[in-house]
Structure 1
Amino acid sequence: MQEDLDGAGVLESQLGHDQQPKPLWQGKAMRVAVVAGPDPGHSFPAIALCQRFLAAGDAPTLLTGVEWIDTARAVGVDAVELLGLDATEDDDDLDDGAKLHRRAARMAVLNAPQLQAMTLDLVVSDVITACGGMAAELLGIPWVELNPHPLYRPSKGLPPLGSGLAPGTGIRGRLRDATMRALTARSWRAGLRQRSEARVGIGLPASDPGPLRRLIATLPALEVPRPDWPAEAIVVGPLHFEPTEQVLPIPPGSGPVVMVAPSTATTGTRGMAETALDALGSLGARVVVSRLNGSDLTVPPWAVVGLGRQDALLAEADLAICGGGHGMVAKSLLAGVPLVVVPGGGDQWEIANRVARQGSGRLVRPLTGEALAEAAGEVLATPSYRDAARRAAAGAAGVADPVRVCHEALVSAR
């Protein structure tokens, strides 16, 4: 089990994907639309994928929120507004199924005309921005799903995702997992019914045929082996995009460099930056707080706060403290940097527990200054955490190329 989590065992044993070079789609540039909502955890991987398509000679267009259109265009990615992101009176945001499926159906109809005008070969739709896949179906265009995190579909061999639990072992462990799956299955079935109703409402068949491929943009170390891995799901490695070229300075001194990256998600733990600045001074650390919204904190002389390239900071860091969002966790592990994870809601609890089980970091919850300082001190003083992070980084050598996967999917579809 540990070998599967640390390296490419998940890929080799469950995916078996041929990574030999393949020709481009029919020998010409592929015209592809990449659809993702404005949350940085989804829009940034979409921009990164567009950059990969461009590097391969393809012609991508990004559809996302208006706040990231200029950012995408600044790095050479054609970008247009994803229509319908604002809620209407008919949207029920208190119902996650309605928010995901009914709004997706409405947005699919709104965006279909501009997608049709692009004369596309392929649509890539973010997993929670489901309108892209629905619009592609309406237009008869092949489509691929982008998961900017591990595969979160239910499995008959795993506890419910989001529980943070490792798969149960023995009779009691398997019974625990089966009981938990039964308790959550009703919600899953309700979501499928809502999706079917939304599809029928815009003229699609009730049964969802699904995408040609699911791009699982994570590290093998963050995946969990399952007996029912979908044949169409391919691990392609994390997709990271830096929204700035600015590089934050490292505070002077000789203490360990600690990068703090508060969550960008609305479900993230609040007050992490403030707590870190209060707690880490006792460690003699040099702290850099990386935030999209810049600095409005009181900053001690041994700290820097602002917007800067996180890859550059991680190249210097001895430790990363973050909220458990997949993007920051995967970015840290790719750099071989161990973690202290302070998870909020959503999938952050699941990711944080996977990090802890893999051995590359500590989980802190609830957040207190004392707990954060103790966890940071232990990770900095214990080489096994960095060793585990480096093993996780090494596993990236076995992932597939997402652009090649898309080209091969089109070949197989025709």
Structure 2
Amino acid sequence: MSRFLFVVPPLVGHINPTVGVAAELARRGHEVAWAGRPQLVEPLVGGRATVFPCASRQLGDPGLLRSDSLRGPTALKFLWERFFGPLAHDMAPGVQAAVEEFRPDVLIADQQAVAGALVAERMGVPWATSATTSAGFTSLEGMPKVEEWIAGLLHDLRQQVGAPDGTADPRLSDDLVLLFSTEALVGQDASLGEQVRCVGPSISARPTGSDFPWKRLDPRRPKVLITLGTANTEVTPRFLAECAEAVRTRTDRLQAIVVDPSGTLPEIGDSVLVRRRVPQLSLLERVDAVVCHAGHNTVCETLWHGLPLVVAPIRDDQPAVAGQVTRAGAGVRVRFNRAGATHINAALDAVLHDPDYRAAARRVGRSFREAGGATAAATHLEQLAARTTGETRPR
């Protein structure tokens, strides 16, 4: 049996896909561990999991919020300069300690936790990429200067925490890239190398808690889940308020479940239920559409359930993912900073009443299920471990 080490950033949407893959590897008898922020990883992977601590910043750090006013290349450069670059510095010592103690046969590095790849290359450990967002395969097209700038930043990081003479792109393993999506969403024109395996979303059971008011869901009304992720709390109140107003004024008696981590949005009778957190996977089995920030994890989980989307991207990879949703015909895009109740109402009308959106969502969802998810990802990792057994490992 083999040992697999997952290196993950402090982002829930990037940890969640590894949970199902790790569970499948463990079911097959392999040893599994994580390197990341224990406070985030342990509640998601279970209290008995082995988690090696890595220092890191939170994406919700107030210093990063000004990136919401930036767009395109400037926003991407800001994110690498202020978050991904410092994150690599912060995580590298913890990753090295994890490799030295756990001695993995294969290290799986999240695409945005490049410390994992840089340390693996330096220590001679075979590594794979966990691509928990597909935006990286399309978002730099037509931006060669940005790609050149990022390549320079990665070169500097390699000199500081990696192998100075290394050549691999730490965002994309030469041996294996697990892309948790399919061409039905990413698009057939995406730049996918021969080592990329489109496995679809890795979806596994999560703790649901017992405090959600399931009895308040009205079976007579269509329902929509409204969620803007866990890293955007400071900038979401205006948009959530407009969503609530849109639901309040509808004549078809729509019911909404709004995720408001800040706890500032008031409920509106039984039309707008507000919770700080929700059991998202369980809710997706009961709602008719989703309004979200185009976070890759939420988008894929929604489409897995065959539901259409209204997407309001805020920052980072979200505009690229929103573009994938609209090109696939599975949703409508609105402007996060400008959309009011009227715009949101029109978008909801489209996805709830035009059958083409639901048909497209179901088409993408079928492609996800056929791709194999966690089971397929685990098989590819086993194959990589088998190919590399006997190579030099850290001592």
| TM-score with structure 2 setting the length | 0.81
Distance change in 2, residues 1:243/1:326 (3 Å): farther
Q: 1:17 matched to which residue of 2?
A: none
Gaps of 5+ in 2: 65-76, 390-395
CA distance in 1 between partners of 2:295 and 2:40 (Å)? 19
Secondary structure in structure 2 of the residue aligned to 1:299: coil
Paired letter, 1:324: A
Question: Given the alignment, which residue of 200, 221, 241 partners 1:274?
Answer: 241
Write out per-residue CA displacement over residues 321-345 of structure 1, whole angstroms, 9 at most, x where no aligned residue.
Answer: 1111111111111001111111112
1:144–1:215 CA contact under 8 A, matched in 2: yes
Q: What is the CA-CA distance between 1:228 and the residue it aligns to?
A: 4.9
1:248–1:308 CA contact under 8 A, matched in 2: no
1:218–1:236 CA contact under 8 A, matched in 2: yes
CA distance in 1 between partners of 2:32 and 2:18 (Å)? 10
CA distance in 1 between partners of 2:259 and 2:318 (Å)? 18
Distance change in 2, residues 1:374/1:96 (3 Å): same
Q: What is the CA-CA distance between 1:385 and the residue it aligns to?
A: 1.1
Q: 1:286 matched to which residue of 2?
A: 255
Paired letter, 1:351: V
Paired letter, 2:117: G
Write out per-residue CA displacement over residues 320-370 of structure 1, whole angstroms, 9 at most, x where no aligned residue.
Answer: 111111111111110011111111121111111221121111111132111
Within a 5 Å distance, the mapping from 1:216-365 to structure 2 comes to: 216-226=179-189, 228-240=191-203, 242=206, 244-246=208-210, 247-249=212-214, 250-252=216-218, 254-266=220-232, 270-271=236-237, 272-283=239-250, 284-291=253-260, 293=261, 295-301=263-269, 302-306=271-275, 307-365=277-335
Secondary structure in structure 1 of the residue aligned to 2:136: coil
1:216–1:236 CA contact under 8 A, matched in 2: yes
CA distance in 2 between partners of 1:48 and 1:356 (Å)? 28
2:57–2:83 CA contact under 8 A, matched in 1: no
1:413 aligns with 2:372: no
Q: Bigger CA drift: 122-131 or 221-230? A: 221-230
Q: 2:340 matched to which residue of 1?
A: 368
CA distance in 2 between partners of 1:337 and 1:362 (Å)? 12
Q: What is the CA-CA distance between 1:94 and the residue it aligns to?
A: 5.0
CA distance in 1 between partners of 2:195 and 2:81 (Å)? 24
Secondary structure in structure 1 of the residue aligned to 2:303: helix
Secondary structure in structure 2 of the residue aligned to 1:152: helix
1:204 aligns with 2:163: yes
CA distance in 2 between partners of 1:363 and 1:86 (Å)? 27
Secondary structure in structure 2 of the residue aligned to 1:238: coil
Write out per-residue CA displacement over residues 283-335 of structure 1, whole angstroms, 9 at most, x where no aligned residue.
Answer: 211111235x3744210122222222112111111111111111111111100
Write out per-residue CA displacement over residues 160-199 of structure 1, whole angstroms, 9 at most, x where no aligned residue.
Answer: x17xxxxxxxxxxxxxxxxx72xx2122112212222221
Q: What is the CA-CA distance between 1:103 and the residue it aligns to?
A: 4.6
Q: What is the CA-CA distance between 1:122 and the residue it aligns to?
A: 1.2
CA distance in 1 between partners of 2:136 and 2:79 (Å)? 19
Q: What is the CA-CA distance between 1:139 and the residue it aligns to?
A: 2.0
Q: 2:145 matched to which residue of 1?
A: 186
1:43 aligns with 2:15: yes
CA distance in 2 between partners of 1:106 and 1:70 (Å)? 19
Q: What is the CA-CA distance between 1:65 and the residue it aligns to?
A: 1.6
CA distance in 1 between partners of 2:82 and 2:58 (Å)? 14
Secondary structure in structure 1 of the residue aligned to 2:34: strand
Distance change in 2, residues 1:201/1:132 (3 Å): same
Write out per-residue CA displacement over residues 224-249 of structure 1, whole angstroms, 9 at most, x where no aligned residue.
Answer: 22375211111111124645344442
CA distance in 2 between partners of 1:240 and 1:72 (Å)? 12
Secondary structure in structure 2 of the residue aligned to 1:72: helix
Q: How big is the alpha-carbon RMSD for the aligned residues of Structure 1 and Structure 2?
A: 2.8
Gaps of 5+ in 1: 1-27, 155-160, 163-179
Q: 1:52 matched to which residue of 2?
A: 24
Q: 2:106 matched to which residue of 1?
A: 122
Q: What is the CA-CA distance between 1:73 and the residue it aligns to?
A: 5.2
Q: Bigger CA drift: 222-231 or 132-141? A: 222-231
Q: Bigger CA drift: 372-381 or 252-261? A: 252-261
Q: 1:195 matched to which residue of 2?
A: 154
1:364–1:371 CA contact under 8 A, matched in 2: yes
Q: Bigger CA drift: 272-281 or 119-128? A: 272-281
Secondary structure in structure 1 of the residue aligned to 2:188: coil
Within a 5 Å distance, the mapping from 1:125-136 to structure 2 comes to: 125-136=109-120
Paired letter, 2:240: A
1:258–1:318 CA contact under 8 A, matched in 2: yes
Q: 2:3 matched to which residue of 1?
A: 31
Secondary structure in structure 1 of the residue aligned to 2:310: strand
CA distance in 2 between partners of 1:329 and 1:48 (Å)? 17
Sequence identity percentage: 20
CA distance in 1 between partners of 2:232 and 2:289 (Å)? 24
Secondary structure in structure 1 of the residue aligned to 2:364: helix
Which consecutive aligned stretches of 4+ in structure 1 deviate over 6 angstroms post-superposition? none
Q: What is the CA-CA distance between 1:99 and the residue it aligns to?
A: 4.5
Secondary structure in structure 1 of the residue aligned to 2:10: coil
Paired letter, 2:311: V
CA distance in 1 between partners of 2:43 and 2:323 (Å)? 33
Distance change in 2, residues 1:185/1:267 (3 Å): farther
| TM-score with structure 1 setting the length | 0.78
Paired letter, 2:368: A
CA distance in 2 between partners of 1:84 and 1:66 (Å)? 11
Q: What is the CA-CA distance between 1:130 and the residue it aligns to?
A: 0.7
CA distance in 1 between partners of 2:95 and 2:145 (Å)? 32
Q: What is the CA-CA distance between 1:262 and the residue it aligns to?
A: 1.8
Distance change in 2, residues 1:374/1:196 (3 Å): same
1:338–1:385 CA contact under 8 A, matched in 2: yes
